[in-house]
Structure 1
Amino acid sequence: MRVTQGTFSFLPDLTDEQINKQLAYIVSKGFSANVEYTDDPHPRNSYWELWGLPLFDVKDASAVMYEISSCRKAKPNYYIKVNAFDNTRGIESCVLSFIVNRPINEPGFLLQRQDFEGRTMKYSLHSYATEKPEGARY
Protein backbone atom coordinates (compact mmCIF):
# COMPACT_ATOMS: atom_id res chain seq x y z
CA MET A 1 0.00 0.00 0.00
CA ARG A 2 1.42 3.35 -1.01
CA VAL A 3 1.31 6.04 1.68
CA THR A 4 -0.24 9.24 0.34
CA GLN A 5 0.69 12.27 2.40
CA GLY A 6 1.65 15.69 1.16
CA THR A 7 1.25 17.78 -1.93
CA PHE A 8 2.28 15.34 -4.68
CA SER A 9 1.21 12.14 -2.97
CA PHE A 10 -0.99 10.83 -5.77
CA LEU A 11 1.67 11.31 -8.44
CA PRO A 12 4.59 8.97 -9.11
CA ASP A 13 7.63 9.58 -6.91
CA LEU A 14 9.46 12.78 -7.76
CA THR A 15 12.87 12.51 -9.40
CA ASP A 16 15.79 14.44 -7.94
CA GLU A 17 15.46 16.94 -10.79
CA GLN A 18 11.79 17.51 -9.94
CA ILE A 19 12.65 17.80 -6.25
CA ASN A 20 15.28 20.43 -7.12
CA LYS A 21 12.66 22.43 -9.02
CA GLN A 22 10.34 22.35 -6.01
CA LEU A 23 13.21 23.40 -3.75
CA ALA A 24 14.03 26.27 -6.12
CA TYR A 25 10.40 27.37 -5.84
CA ILE A 26 10.61 27.23 -2.03
CA VAL A 27 13.79 29.34 -2.05
CA SER A 28 12.37 31.83 -4.58
CA LYS A 29 9.37 32.47 -2.32
CA GLY A 30 11.59 33.02 0.72
CA PHE A 31 10.09 30.08 2.59
CA SER A 32 11.95 28.24 5.33
CA ALA A 33 12.39 24.50 4.85
CA ASN A 34 13.05 21.45 6.94
CA VAL A 35 13.60 17.75 6.34
CA GLU A 36 11.77 15.17 8.46
CA TYR A 37 11.76 11.37 8.60
CA THR A 38 9.74 8.57 10.21
CA ASP A 39 9.23 4.83 10.17
CA ASP A 40 5.60 5.21 11.32
CA PRO A 41 3.70 6.97 8.53
CA HIS A 42 0.27 6.73 10.16
CA PRO A 43 -1.93 9.53 8.75
CA ARG A 44 -2.40 11.00 12.23
CA ASN A 45 1.31 10.88 13.04
CA SER A 46 2.02 14.53 12.34
CA TYR A 47 5.18 14.60 14.47
CA TRP A 48 7.97 13.20 12.34
CA GLU A 49 11.61 13.37 13.48
CA LEU A 50 13.43 16.53 12.41
CA TRP A 51 16.62 15.97 10.42
CA GLY A 52 19.21 18.56 11.38
CA LEU A 53 17.98 22.09 11.95
CA PRO A 54 15.31 24.05 10.09
CA LEU A 55 16.77 25.86 7.09
CA PHE A 56 15.99 29.55 7.50
CA ASP A 57 17.06 32.19 4.96
CA VAL A 58 18.38 29.63 2.49
CA LYS A 59 19.45 31.26 -0.78
CA ASP A 60 20.31 28.10 -2.72
CA ALA A 61 18.19 24.99 -3.20
CA SER A 62 21.31 22.83 -3.14
CA ALA A 63 21.58 23.36 0.64
CA VAL A 64 18.20 21.70 1.13
CA MET A 65 19.07 18.97 -1.38
CA TYR A 66 22.27 18.30 0.58
CA GLU A 67 20.21 17.73 3.74
CA ILE A 68 17.85 15.42 1.84
CA SER A 69 20.81 13.41 0.51
CA SER A 70 22.36 13.17 3.98
CA CYS A 71 19.08 11.96 5.45
CA ARG A 72 18.65 9.42 2.63
CA LYS A 73 22.12 8.00 3.33
CA ALA A 74 21.50 7.73 7.07
CA LYS A 75 17.86 6.57 6.85
CA PRO A 76 17.46 4.77 3.49
CA ASN A 77 14.41 2.73 4.53
CA TYR A 78 12.46 5.56 6.13
CA TYR A 79 9.87 7.96 4.85
CA ILE A 80 11.50 11.36 4.31
CA LYS A 81 9.63 14.56 3.54
CA VAL A 82 10.34 18.22 2.98
CA ASN A 83 8.19 20.92 4.56
CA ALA A 84 8.17 24.58 3.55
CA PHE A 85 7.02 27.29 5.94
CA ASP A 86 5.87 30.84 5.24
CA ASN A 87 6.37 33.28 8.11
CA THR A 88 5.25 36.46 6.33
CA ARG A 89 2.20 36.80 8.59
CA GLY A 90 4.25 36.43 11.76
CA ILE A 91 3.41 32.74 12.18
CA GLU A 92 5.00 29.64 10.74
CA SER A 93 2.43 28.18 8.35
CA CYS A 94 3.24 25.01 6.42
CA VAL A 95 2.58 25.88 2.78
CA LEU A 96 4.16 22.89 1.05
CA SER A 97 4.98 19.35 2.11
CA PHE A 98 6.01 16.37 0.00
CA ILE A 99 7.64 12.96 0.39
CA VAL A 100 11.10 12.60 -1.15
CA ASN A 101 11.96 9.07 0.01
CA ARG A 102 10.01 5.98 0.95
CA PRO A 103 10.92 2.40 1.91
CA ILE A 104 11.02 -0.25 -0.80
CA ASN A 105 8.33 -2.25 0.99
CA GLU A 106 5.36 -0.32 2.36
CA PRO A 107 3.37 -2.73 4.54
CA GLY A 108 0.22 -0.63 4.74
CA PHE A 109 -2.57 -0.43 7.31
CA LEU A 110 -5.23 -2.64 8.82
CA LEU A 111 -8.72 -1.19 9.06
CA GLN A 112 -10.18 -2.28 12.40
CA ARG A 113 -13.94 -2.21 12.85
CA GLN A 114 -15.70 -2.27 16.20
CA ASP A 115 -19.41 -2.83 16.70
CA PHE A 116 -21.20 -0.77 19.34
CA GLU A 117 -24.77 -0.56 20.57
CA GLY A 118 -27.43 0.67 18.22
CA ARG A 119 -25.60 -0.69 15.18
CA THR A 120 -22.93 1.96 15.56
CA MET A 121 -19.60 1.17 13.92
CA LYS A 122 -16.27 2.72 14.83
CA TYR A 123 -13.22 2.39 12.63
CA SER A 124 -9.53 2.82 13.34
CA LEU A 125 -6.31 2.29 11.41
CA HIS A 126 -3.46 0.11 12.60
CA SER A 127 -0.09 0.43 10.88
CA TYR A 128 1.56 -2.90 10.15
CA ALA A 129 4.91 -1.11 10.47
CA THR A 130 4.38 -0.58 14.21
CA GLU A 131 4.29 -4.32 14.87
CA LYS A 132 8.09 -4.20 14.90
CA PRO A 133 10.16 -2.07 17.29
CA GLU A 134 11.24 1.41 16.27
CA GLY A 135 14.32 1.32 14.05
CA ALA A 136 13.57 -2.23 12.82
CA ARG A 137 10.36 -1.57 10.93
CA TYR A 138 11.77 -1.56 7.41
Structure 2
Amino acid sequence: MRITQGQFSFLPDLTDEQITSQIKYALKNNWAVNVEYTDDPHPRNTYWEMWGMPMFDLRDPAGIMMEVQDCRKTYPDQYIRVTAFDSTRGWETPRMSFIVNRPKEEPGFQLLRQESDGRHIRYTLHSYATDKPEGQRYR
Protein backbone atom coordinates (compact mmCIF):
# COMPACT_ATOMS: atom_id res chain seq x y z
CA MET A 1 0.00 0.00 0.00
CA ARG A 2 1.32 3.44 -0.91
CA ILE A 3 0.52 6.26 1.53
CA THR A 4 -1.00 9.22 -0.30
CA GLN A 5 -0.68 12.43 1.68
CA GLY A 6 0.06 15.95 0.55
CA GLN A 7 0.69 17.24 -2.91
CA PHE A 8 2.03 14.95 -5.61
CA SER A 9 1.08 11.84 -3.61
CA PHE A 10 -0.48 10.06 -6.58
CA LEU A 11 2.60 10.65 -8.72
CA PRO A 12 5.81 8.62 -8.65
CA ASP A 13 8.26 9.75 -5.97
CA LEU A 14 9.83 13.10 -6.76
CA THR A 15 13.50 13.22 -7.70
CA ASP A 16 15.82 15.47 -5.73
CA GLU A 17 15.82 17.87 -8.70
CA GLN A 18 12.00 18.05 -8.60
CA ILE A 19 12.05 18.52 -4.81
CA THR A 20 14.52 21.38 -5.25
CA SER A 21 12.20 22.98 -7.82
CA GLN A 22 9.30 22.87 -5.37
CA ILE A 23 11.46 24.35 -2.60
CA LYS A 24 12.51 27.16 -4.98
CA TYR A 25 8.83 27.87 -5.63
CA ALA A 26 8.10 28.04 -1.90
CA LEU A 27 11.05 30.35 -1.25
CA LYS A 28 10.04 32.57 -4.17
CA ASN A 29 6.69 33.03 -2.40
CA ASN A 30 8.45 33.86 0.92
CA TRP A 31 7.15 30.73 2.64
CA ALA A 32 9.05 29.19 5.56
CA VAL A 33 10.10 25.61 4.88
CA ASN A 34 10.62 22.80 7.36
CA VAL A 35 11.40 19.08 7.26
CA GLU A 36 9.37 16.58 9.32
CA TYR A 37 9.46 12.81 9.85
CA THR A 38 7.29 10.07 11.39
CA ASP A 39 6.84 6.33 11.63
CA ASP A 40 3.05 6.71 12.10
CA PRO A 41 1.60 8.13 8.88
CA HIS A 42 -2.05 7.91 9.99
CA PRO A 43 -4.04 10.56 8.06
CA ARG A 44 -5.07 12.26 11.32
CA ASN A 45 -1.50 12.36 12.60
CA THR A 46 -0.76 15.89 11.45
CA TYR A 47 1.94 16.48 14.08
CA TRP A 48 5.07 14.85 12.71
CA GLU A 49 8.44 15.30 14.44
CA MET A 50 10.33 18.35 13.22
CA TRP A 51 13.82 17.89 11.88
CA GLY A 52 15.65 20.89 13.26
CA MET A 53 13.91 24.25 13.26
CA PRO A 54 11.72 25.82 10.57
CA MET A 55 13.91 27.66 8.09
CA PHE A 56 12.25 31.09 8.22
CA ASP A 57 15.08 33.12 6.75
CA LEU A 58 16.80 30.59 4.50
CA ARG A 59 16.71 31.60 0.82
CA ASP A 60 18.88 28.88 -0.70
CA PRO A 61 17.15 25.59 -1.60
CA ALA A 62 20.50 23.80 -1.28
CA GLY A 63 20.42 24.38 2.50
CA ILE A 64 16.98 22.81 2.77
CA MET A 65 18.01 19.88 0.57
CA MET A 66 21.00 19.37 2.88
CA GLU A 67 18.54 19.07 5.79
CA VAL A 68 16.40 16.61 3.78
CA GLN A 69 19.50 14.48 3.05
CA ASP A 70 20.57 14.54 6.72
CA CYS A 71 17.09 13.48 7.81
CA ARG A 72 17.09 10.67 5.21
CA LYS A 73 20.43 9.41 6.55
CA THR A 74 19.19 9.47 10.14
CA TYR A 75 15.70 8.05 9.45
CA PRO A 76 15.96 6.05 6.20
CA ASP A 77 12.98 3.83 7.07
CA GLN A 78 10.52 6.56 8.02
CA TYR A 79 8.28 8.96 6.20
CA ILE A 80 9.83 12.38 5.63
CA ARG A 81 7.99 15.38 4.26
CA VAL A 82 8.73 18.96 3.33
CA THR A 83 6.15 21.55 4.38
CA ALA A 84 6.04 25.21 3.38
CA PHE A 85 4.19 27.75 5.55
CA ASP A 86 2.82 31.16 4.65
CA SER A 87 2.80 33.69 7.50
CA THR A 88 1.61 36.73 5.53
CA ARG A 89 -1.77 36.78 7.30
CA GLY A 90 -0.25 36.69 10.79
CA TRP A 91 -0.43 32.94 11.38
CA GLU A 92 1.35 29.95 9.91
CA THR A 93 -0.76 28.43 7.14
CA PRO A 94 0.54 25.32 5.34
CA ARG A 95 0.64 26.06 1.62
CA MET A 96 2.53 23.03 0.40
CA SER A 97 3.38 19.64 1.85
CA PHE A 98 4.77 16.54 0.18
CA ILE A 99 6.54 13.30 1.06
CA VAL A 100 10.23 13.08 0.12
CA ASN A 101 11.10 9.71 1.72
CA ARG A 102 9.23 6.47 2.38
CA PRO A 103 10.08 3.17 4.06
CA LYS A 104 10.91 0.33 1.67
CA GLU A 105 7.78 -1.49 2.81
CA GLU A 106 4.58 0.40 3.61
CA PRO A 107 2.32 -1.86 5.68
CA GLY A 108 -0.83 0.21 5.16
CA PHE A 109 -4.08 0.38 7.11
CA GLN A 110 -6.98 -1.80 8.14
CA LEU A 111 -10.54 -0.47 7.94
CA LEU A 112 -12.39 -1.39 11.13
CA ARG A 113 -16.18 -1.45 11.20
CA GLN A 114 -18.22 -1.07 14.38
CA GLU A 115 -21.98 -1.43 14.55
CA SER A 116 -23.70 0.78 17.13
CA ASP A 117 -27.21 1.91 18.08
CA GLY A 118 -29.88 1.24 15.53
CA ARG A 119 -28.43 0.99 12.06
CA HIS A 120 -25.46 3.26 12.68
CA ILE A 121 -22.10 1.99 11.54
CA ARG A 122 -18.81 3.62 12.50
CA TYR A 123 -15.53 3.18 10.67
CA THR A 124 -11.98 3.86 11.75
CA LEU A 125 -8.52 3.23 10.36
CA HIS A 126 -5.87 1.17 12.13
CA SER A 127 -2.26 1.60 10.99
CA TYR A 128 -0.45 -1.73 10.77
CA ALA A 129 2.75 0.20 11.52
CA THR A 130 1.57 0.90 15.07
CA ASP A 131 1.40 -2.83 15.87
CA LYS A 132 5.11 -2.57 16.68
CA PRO A 133 6.67 -0.22 19.26
CA GLU A 134 7.88 3.20 18.17
CA GLY A 135 11.33 3.00 16.61
CA GLN A 136 10.82 -0.63 15.47
CA ARG A 137 7.95 -0.15 13.02
CA TYR A 138 9.84 -0.48 9.75
CA ARG A 139 12.59 -2.94 10.59
TM over 0.5: yes
2:51 is paired with a residue of what secondary structure?
strand
**Aligned residue for 1:127?**
127
1:111 and 2:106 are equivalent in the alignment: no
Give 4+ residue runs of structure 1 displaced > 4 Å after superposition: none
Letter in 2 for 1:13: D
C-alpha separation in 2, matches of 1:71 and 1:27 = 20
How many pairs were matched up?
Answer: 138
Deviation of the 1:137 alpha carbon: 0.2
Match of 1:77 in 2: 77
Structure 2 gap segments, 5+ residues each: none
Secondary structure of the equivalent of 1:10? coil
1:44-63 to 2 correspondences below 5 Å: 44-63=44-63
Aligned-partner Cα distance in 2 for 1:50–1:61:
18
In 1, distance between residues paired with 2:85 and 2:17? Answer: 21
With structure 2 as the length reference, what TM-score do the two structures score?
0.97
How far apart in 2 are the matches of 1:119 and 1:31? 47
Task: Measure the CA separation in 1 of the matches of 2:31 and 2:90.
Answer: 13
Equivalent position of 2:66 in the other structure: 66
Tell me which residue corresponds to 2:101.
101
Match of 2:8 in 1: 8
- Measure how far apart 1:117 and its partner are: 2.5
- The answer for unaligned runs of 5 or more in structure 1 is none
- The question of 1:34 aligning with 2:34 is answered yes
Letter in 2 for 1:124: T
1:87 aligns with 2:91: no
In the alignment, the residues of structure 2 paired with residue 77 and residue 51 of structure 1 have an alpha-carbon distance, to the nearest angstrom, of 15
Q: Following the alignment from structure 2 to structure 1, what is the Cα–Cα distance between the partners of residues 96 and 62? A: 18
The normalised TM-score by structure 1 is 0.98
Q: Distance in 2 between matches of 1:57 and 1:42?
A: 31
Provide the secondary structure at the position in 2 that maps to 1:125. strand
Q: Percent identity?
A: 62
Question: Could you say what secondary structure the match of 2:44 adopts?
Answer: coil
